[in-house]
Amino acid sequence: MRRTLRARICLPALLALTAVGLGSGTAGAAGSDSSGNPSPGVAASPAQYALHTSLERDLGDRTAGSYLDAASGELVVTVIDAAAAEEVRVTGARAEIVTRSMAQLRAAMDTLESKAKIIGTSWGIDPSTNQVAVEADSTVSAASMAKLRGVAARLGDAVSIKRVAGAFKKEVAGGEAIYGGGYRCSAAFNVSKSTTRYFLTAGHCTNSASSWSATSDGPSIGTREGTSFPTNDYGIVRYTDGSRPAGNVNLYNGSHQDITSAADAIVGQSIRKSGSTTRLTSGTVTAVNVTVNYGDGPVYNLVRTTACSAGGDSGGAHFAGSTALGIHSGSAGCTGSNGSALHQPVKEALAAYGVAVY
């Protein structure tokens, strides 16, 4: 099971938790990071989130996924036949007939899982290319790369491979923000069930401790109530200090972004990541259904982005405007402004614990 990290800061004034801002504030301009740089990618609308989800559910294996067109901003739904294309067009989305179905792409990932499960690799579906996009970090040896390329070659052009700098790792560090078990992590989103308040974080963080604090060696603000890692990477912490923190995210520029809904990320959309180490960074979603092979076990169904992150950002928030998207899991580091931040889809964690953003 995936580890679940639940850590939330109960002290409203002190709360500048990694990704979740507990205090109130004015939302910053969507689509820019704390240094004012514009986010790449396309802003997704509530209607596009809803259409993306409903069409993928209704079409099943007749679609190979959806993405946002960078030039027009349209939702593009890939399909394998003309009948499915017509179903897409009547909804107002754009249909694109592709060669490989979702079942074929998943079969390619199953082959990689069984024959090339190498630490330091990850793979996921990129609907915009109709391929499984594989990344191999700097720790993958020449022999392992040869094995990976050999397996991929048997899958033809269904698979693309790219080397990335750095090494895929869970980004936990000793330090500040939310503390437990000798680690510093970041909080993602404040959530609730009835009148009880919690916060979500990474499971590889919550696996390490049951009690969480807002300062190093400080008083406990919350107790772990669930954790899941590997396989998943989410956890939940119940506030035990009597606080009722706001449901927003710290933008690290003196303001906060209110979070009012949750959705699954769409390839091509712009996102922002808030964490206690690199603070607010931005990027674009590049793949979904991603498997990452960490040293202590694989995690499945993640989302790959180009946002920058570093140690201590684990558990932080991935979001777009007022929409919660994911819980930061890890990355292979960052080169300049180009990163590889991975997130656990937040809707899965919300469903697992029966909680909601507010």
Q: Could you say which DSSP state residue 130 is in?
A: T
The one catalytic residue among 220, 314, 331, 340: 314
Task: Note if 258 is an active site residue.
Answer: no
Sketch out the chain's domains with CATH numbers. 4-40+169-357 (2.40.10.10)
Residue 34 confidence (pLDDT): 53
Averaged pLDDT, groups of 10, the chain, 358 residues long = 32 31 31 54 96 96 96 97 97 97 96 97 98 97 98 97 88 61 93 96 96 91 97 97 90 92 98 94 97 96 96 94 97 86 98 97
- With left for phi above 0 and alpha for psi between -120 and 50, is residue 336 left, alpha or beta? left
Task: Note if 314 is an active site residue.
Answer: yes
Residue 40 confidence (pLDDT): 72
Query: CA geometry: angle at 178 spanning 358 and 36, to 5°?
Result: 70
Give the pLDDT confidence of 277-301 residue by residue, as tens digits. 999 999 999 999 999 999 999 999 9
Q: Which helix (H) or strand (E) holds 52?
A: helix 46-59
Q: From CA 333, how far away is CA 312, in angstroms rounded?
A: 12
The one catalytic residue among 66, 137, 204, 282: 204
Give the pLDDT confidence of 127-176 residue by residue, as tens digits. 999 999 999 999 999 999 999 999 999 999 999 999 999 899 765 443 34
**Cβ–Cβ under 8 Å, residues 95 and 51:** no
Q: Is 303 exposed, middle or buried (0-12, 13-18, 19+ CB in 10 A)?
A: buried
Task: Note if 58 is an active site residue.
Answer: no
Residue 173 confidence (pLDDT): 41
**Cβ–Cβ under 8 Å, residues 339 and 273:** no
The one catalytic residue among 137, 233, 264, 313: 233
Residue 243 confidence (pLDDT): 85
Give the pLDDT confidence of 308-318 residue by residue, as tens digits. 999 899 999 99
Total number of residues shown for the chain: 358
Residue 26 confidence (pLDDT): 28
Q: From CA 145, how far away is CA 237, in angstroms rounded?
A: 40
Pick from 346, 290, 292: nearest CA to 317: 346
Task: Look up tokens 């989130």; give the residue.
Answer: 49
